[in-house]
Amino acid sequence: MTDKEIQKRIDTLASLKTVQMYNNDFLLTWDKQEEEIRAVLTVADILRGMRDANLSPRIFDSGLALAIFRDKSTRTRFSFLSAANLLGLTAQDLDETKTQIAHGETVRETANMISFLTEVIGIRDDMYLGYGHSYMKEVSEAVREGHREGVLPRIPTLVNLQCDLDHPTQALSDLLHLIHHFGSLEALKGKKVAMTWAYSPSYGKPLSVPQGVIGLMSRFGMEIRLAYPEGYSLIPEIEELAESNSRAAGGLFSRSHSMAEAFSGADIVYPKSWAPYEVMQRRTGLLKAGDSKGLDDLEAECLQLNKRYLDWECNEQLMKQTDNALYLHCLPADISEVSCERGEVSASVFERFRLDTYRQAGYKPYIIAAMMFLSKVENPASVLSGILKEKVPRVADSG
Amino acid sequence: MTDKEIQKRIDTLASLKTVQMYNNDFLLTWDKQEEEIRAVLTVADILRGMRDANLSPRIFDSGLALAIFRDKSTRTRFSFLSAANLLGLTAQDLDETKTQIAHGETVRETANMISFLTEVIGIRDDMYLGYGHSYMKEVSEAVREGHREGVLPRIPTLVNLQCDLDHPTQALSDLLHLIHHFGSLEALKGKKVAMTWAYSPSYGKPLSVPQGVIGLMSRFGMEIRLAYPEGYSLIPEIEELAESNSRAAGGLFSRSHSMAEAFSGADIVYPKSWAPYEVMQRRTGLLKAGDSKGLDDLEAECLQLNKRYLDWECNEQLMKQTDNALYLHCLPADISEVSCERGEVSASVFERFRLDTYRQAGYKPYIIAAMMFLSKVENPASVLSGILKEKVPRVADSG
Amino acid sequence: MTDKEIQKRIDTLASLKTVQMYNNDFLLTWDKQEEEIRAVLTVADILRGMRDANLSPRIFDSGLALAIFRDKSTRTRFSFLSAANLLGLTAQDLDETKTQIAHGETVRETANMISFLTEVIGIRDDMYLGYGHSYMKEVSEAVREGHREGVLPRIPTLVNLQCDLDHPTQALSDLLHLIHHFGSLEALKGKKVAMTWAYSPSYGKPLSVPQGVIGLMSRFGMEIRLAYPEGYSLIPEIEELAESNSRAAGGLFSRSHSMAEAFSGADIVYPKSWAPYEVMQRRTGLLKAGDSKGLDDLEAECLQLNKRYLDWECNEQLMKQTDNALYLHCLPADISEVSCERGEVSASVFERFRLDTYRQAGYKPYIIAAMMFLSKVENPASVLSGILKEKVPRVADSG
């Protein structure tokens, strides 16, 4: 991106109302105004453009970015770390096994204890329905109390790195990928997106990716086609939200139990496994009760259930029915005959789109950095203009 | 803090003799001159004031701060990390399970191997009487030999993050909290501090917090009231040290076996569980002998013993006997009916002082940063004046 | 080092052809031209000289250095971290237990997912013959594909932190230590180096240190004397390479089964245990087959075998036969009567050279930093000249 192209995006940003994002968390895309969503996408593009032009968009001389992962993670962990590093923050994992959290400390106390010099807290807590989002709210309230009461000098703002409801850094990366692929956010209007379940020989995958995708994409006039086998619904309120978003944005929303129907004529397909909603609910109950026998039985039952839908595989035959669709996946995908016998996608389809899925993932560090930036800087456009003028190189002699 | 207020503290610092702190460790408060203690408190306030005014007190462009934790830790780990980050150092844990330390490397060798570019080493080793402090001396001697012999370009200075004898970063944070609460160090003269044991359904808590508190507070003319059940004494030499400190400072020192007596008319109370001295000694012996059966028996015996003192709980009734005392705790506290059935403090007392205990903890990153600063900078006052003049913002556009 | 001495080395660097190192990996010393080897040694000296003179050679304002350790490590881990930190990169371990790598992600995918903002990847993978180097090539090809296809904005370059074939950061540190000890690279011509096996009560030590040493040292006209008990040969191709290097450089190369013969009249001795080549091959096969019983049997057999060569110990008697030789070790050494009953070296010999071995290790952070520097900067001499002129202090007020 040339300086002029970057400046053009800064001008766009200046026209958007982002004042509510300052000192605020980013937990759910549907809590954010459309201008705020556009601001995240715009800042992500600016930060990427600057870095590619060897300009350092560092705004912190010191400060911490704290990551709490309650589920395994490679890409999100590195995306968070990369985003923090780009802005000048030092990322630190809170590894619960090394700390005293398990020893009776309350969330309220720990949240403050680790936040004295913390700017941003990223949390991934996506395992149990009804928990992840609540936990994030609890942490957010704790550090806000701490700030109000003079414990914390600044408000540590939260970034949701995946909860039980939404996966906003993923959905926004997906959206930015589509914007770059189709040319603009406006160009997405009317595009048909098949967000479908797909078979996987695994158990307990969270619902937050498909929920995040339909909750966000439905706001821009696309045609959302949600498809899954009976019993594999998402959280009903989020399906309803997507439906009403679609209506409001002049788009369409449909639900079916047929992958083929969803794929027919689609511009974009996002076939991805998730656990049945009802299984996730029972699982949460069993976990609370500490019933490990019950959990084992449920897993066996669920894997057996999945097998009835082995044909929910994104393969060449189905892809032929689309309108030359772009394949999306949040990775890692279960690839038939590669990572498992039968999976979400056939090897040939995946291989054709492999590098596209890498590019899709590549937006995430910038999306996270944009969320951080907008929550920590009151005048984002003017700060970015300043960076563009100062021209501090990120690497000396970049070739 | 305004620039003027910061400058005033820098002037105070300039009047204190700190030359002995340069290139030196901070292991025990009682090894330090009173002027040196005052310097740590002053620099901590200055660094905090600067950060709150969005001035970056970064003095390193690169360099490592190494943390060796031989016990679990949340708050101290983050405090150390935060302090290092504020000054421009990258903190790195030495995780003994990932390294070859367990494979026969001597302390001497390892200490040098990880210190080639290291500025500061923080160590927590508080589990066994007679060990933690010795280990720190061993590491210190090893890196000093390395420096002397041309292995290490600079002397990595040590910060004691808790040993078997003292917990200086805690005691100094506690003291700074009192200074801010009561107005000044001078205002503490004559204040009555009840440092008392309290019941907890746990085993093996180190003695270093109460030892650190009485060893430090006794130097400023306060009235120290140490109270614990029979058999729960601290290391005798440290009790004696506190007593002689008190005498020298024109304060008072008393010992009793009654919580009520200690609380009566107190200005400050610090009720906190610790293991009986004699149990800690036997425990160390059993650990050396690798006698796990003996250790289990000792734990059971000790928990049983503790139960005789269930009434050593800081509750509203006891608090009424004080002179509207400030409650202190190093956290996490064992709170009755919250974190355990019966604990160190009743829920209502703790809740009333909860945010105060957070504020108390909030001084620790600055105390650690001050210790680092004074050990790495030969002319601290002039460097701080320079920072105040240069006005490098910590965050661009801080609102 | 004075500015003038540093500038002299920058002038030397400017005369060396390093253009092929830019955007390239450092995997094996024998893949590098002699001028490139000299460039690494020269840049390492310059970076060390600058740091010692309190000049910060930081060239990155942000960016990641990723470390993948598939074997335990203290010194190499800290050396990598220190090198990254010195240049302004944030080092991050990829801890495979915390990530999804074990869950079916391919190397190709993961390598890209963690590299969006990554400048350097350090890998240690030295456990199985035929694996470590291949894995590094695989990662390198994956990130190069990612760069070519627009996934990664810059090429993350690799540094081999030890593989099954070579240990280039070790061998180059060893060489730089010799250069400083004997005065210059030219002064090493004709020096007799005894690279010998030594007894250790351990099993499965990699062959890469002796291979790296003979593969590198043989290029500078030294007399290489490789000695080991029958059955303990290195990878035959690498022995041959060293032999042909020696011939080309006007040096000598000999192989024997006698430690005494190798030591006789030697200037440098490097006695170090490693596993028998044939055992390493069988071990790799058993590991592939998942045969844990077979592995246990092999370990027992190998330890028994080792015991036949208890007298391969570097002791005073043997040292007397040398020409006042310098003792080298990559550490940790198995020291007789210190870390084990009988080991690689007697206590008195080791103690005499203990600080020398620390100094030897102390070059590694700078060797790694030099590899990073030369792979990330197109015009290294001009960038280093710029740093020398700008004089950014690493520490404010360094005394």
Partners of residue A192 on adjacent β-strands: A223
Q: What integer is the mean pLDDT of C206-222?
A: 97
> d(Cα B42, Cα A337) in Å, to the nearest integer?
66
> Which residue's structure tokens are 């003079």?
A150
Taking only residues 245 to 284 of chain A, the set having a beta carbon closer than 8 angstroms to any beta carbon of chain B reads none
Residue linked to tokens 């929303």: A253
For residue A75, what pLDDT is reported? 85
* Nearest Cα residue in chain C from B386: C396
Q: What angle do CA C271, C273, C274 make, to 5 degrees?
A: 130
Cis preceding linkage at C236, omega within 30? no
Give the model's pLDDT for residue B96: 60
CA distance A82 to chain C (A): 6
Full 3-state SS string of C258-285: CHHHHHCCCCEEEECCCCCHHHHHHHHH
- Residue range(s) of every CATH 3.40.50.1370 domain in chain A: 3-165+364-390, 168-361
Contact B113 C359 (CB under 8 A): no
- By the 8 A CB rule, do C78 and B113 touch? yes
pLDDT-above-70 percentage for chain A: 97
pLDDT(A99) > 50? no
Closest CA to B37 of B10, B18, B22, B50: B18
- Cβ distance C362 to B63 less than 8 Å, yes or no, reads no
Extended beta strands in B145-246, E state:
157-160, 192-197, 223-227
Fold annotation for A168-361: Rossmann fold (3.40.50)
Laid out side by side, the sheet with C223-227 consists of C252-256, C223-227, C192-196, C268-271, C326-327
- Order of strands, edge to edge, in the sheet holding A326-327? A252-256, A223-227, A192-196, A268-271, A326-327
Tell me the two tokens of residue C90: 């944030």
Q: How far is CA B306 from CA A82, B309, C73, in A?
A: 49, 6, 43
What residues does C271 pair with on adjacent strands? C196
- Residue C56 to residue B61, Cβ atoms within 8 A: yes
Task: CATH 3.40.50.1370 in chain B: give the residue spans.
Answer: 3-165+364-390, 169-361
What is the pLDDT at residue A284? 87
Q: Is the pLDDT of residue B290 over 90?
A: no
Average pLDDT (B90-115) is: 73
Per-residue pLDDT of C311-364, as tens digits, reads 999 999 999 999 999 999 999 999 999 989 999 999 999 999 999 999 999 999
Q: Which of C22, C62, C383 sits opposite A85 (nearest CB)?
A: C62
Count of other CB atoms within 10 angstroms of residue A338: 16
Residue C146 half-sphere exposure, CB side, CA atoms within 13 Å? Answer: 31
Tokens describing residue B90? 């990258």
Q: Which DSSP letter does residue B227 get?
A: E
**Inter-chain contact B332–A90, Cβ cutoff 8 Å?**
no
Distances from the Cα of C100 to the Cα of A186, A363, C94, angstroms: 36, 20, 11
Q: Is the peptide bond before B168 cis (omega within 30 degrees of 0)?
A: no
**C 333-392: CB under 8 A from B:** 334, 338-340, 354-355, 358-359, 361-362, 364-365, 392
State whether B77 and A99 contact (CB < 8 Å).
Answer: yes
pLDDT in tens, A119-172: 999 999 988 888 899 999 999 999 999 999 999 999 999 999 999 999 999 999
CA triple B172-B202-B213, angle to 5 deg: 15
Q: Which residue has the higher pLDDT, A290 or C96?
A: A290
Q: Phi, psi (5° rounding) for residue B121? A: -120, 120
Longest Cα pair distance anywhere in chain B, in angstroms? 62
Contact criterion met (CB < 8 Å) for C396 and B386: yes
Upstream peptide bond of B210 is cis (omega within 30 degrees of 0): no
Torsion of CA C305, C306, C307, C310, to 10 degrees: 150
**Mean pLDDT of the residues in chain B:** 94
Topology at the third CATH level for domain B169-361:
Rossmann fold (3.40.50)
Burial of A224 (0-12, 13-18, 19+ CB in 10 A): buried
Q: What are the structure tokens assigned to B33, written together?
A: 């001159």
pLDDT at A98: 45
Amino acid (1-letter code) at residue B238: I
What is the spatial distance between Cα C223 and Cα C192, in angstroms, rounded to a whole number? Answer: 5
Q: Please, are residues C336 and C148 in contact by the beta-carbon 8 Å criterion?
A: no
- Tell which residue, A305, A187, A300, A237, has the closest CA to residue A28: A237
Fold entry, domain B3-165+364-390: Rossmann fold (3.40.50)
Q: In whole angstroms, what is the distance from residue B21 CA to residue B376 CA?
A: 9
CB contact under 8 A, A151 and B362: yes
Instruction: Identify the pLDDT of residue C7.
Output: 98
Predicted confidence (pLDDT) per residue in C269-285, tens digit: 999 999 999 888 898 88
Q: Quickly state the pLDDT bin for B100 (edges 50, 70, 90).
A: very low
Q: DSSP characters for C337-396?
A: TTTBSS-SB-HHHHHHHHHHHHHHHHTHHHHHHHHHHHHH-S-HHHHHHHHHHH--BSBS
Tokens of C25: 């990996």
CB distance B166 to B30 below 8 Å = yes
Cβ distance of A77 and C90 shorter than 8 Å: no
Q: How many CB pairs under 8 A join A and C?
A: 115
Q: In which residue are the tokens 């004089």 written? A: C391
Query: What is the distance between the alpha carbons of residues B359 and B355, in angstroms, rounded to a whole number?
Result: 6
Give tens-digit pLDDT for B190-199: 999 999 999 9
Residue C248: band (very low, low, confident or very high) from pLDDT cuts 50, 70, 90: very high
Radius of gyration of chain A (CA): 21
**pLDDT > 90: percent of chain C:** 86
Distance CA B254, CA B241 (A): 13
Contact A394 C22 (CB under 8 A): no
Residues from chain B contacting residue C79 (CB–CB below 8 Å): 116
DSSP characters over C122-179: EEE--SSTTTHHHHHHHHHHHHHHHHHTTSSSSPPEEEES--SS--HHHHHHHHHHHH
| Residue B154 buriedness (CB in 10 A; 0-12 / 13-18 / 19+) | buried
Q: What is the pLDDT of residues C1-30, one digit of tens each?
A: 999 999 999 999 999 999 999 999 999 999
Find the mean pLDDT for residues C33-58. 98
Chain B touching partners, 3 or more CB pairs below 8 A: A, C
Does an H or E element contain C253, and which? strand C252-256
Shortest Cα distance, chain C CAs vs residue B179, angstroms:
30
pLDDT at position A287: 82
Q: Which pLDDT value is given to residue A102?
A: 39
Chains in touch with C (≥3 Cβ pairs < 8 A): A, B
A26-65 residues touching C, CB cutoff 8 A: 51-52, 56, 58
- Would you call C116 and A85 a contact, using CB atoms and an 8 Å cutoff? no
- Report strand pairing: C192-196 vs C64-69: unpaired
B77 with A98: Cβ contact below 8 A: yes
Q: What is the mean pLDDT of residues C119-140?
A: 92
Least CB–CB distance from A113: residue in B72, B331, B398: B331
A331·C109 Cβ contact <8 A = yes
Q: Which amino acid is at B356?
A: D
DSSP code string of A28-69: -GGGS-HHHHHHHHHHHHHHHHHHHTTB----BSS-EEEEEE
Distance from the Cα of C100 to chain B's closest Cα (Å) equals 19
Q: Is A144 on the interface with B (CB under 8 A)?
A: no
Q: What is the mean pLDDT of residues A352-370?
A: 98
d(CA A173, CA A367): 6
pLDDT value, residue C75? 85
Per CB-CB distance under 8 Å, the chain C contacts of B92 are 78, 81
Summarize the confidence of residues A99-126 as an average pLDDT: 81
ipTM: 0.95
Provide CB contacts within 8 A for C105, sequence distance 6+: A74, A331, A332, C113
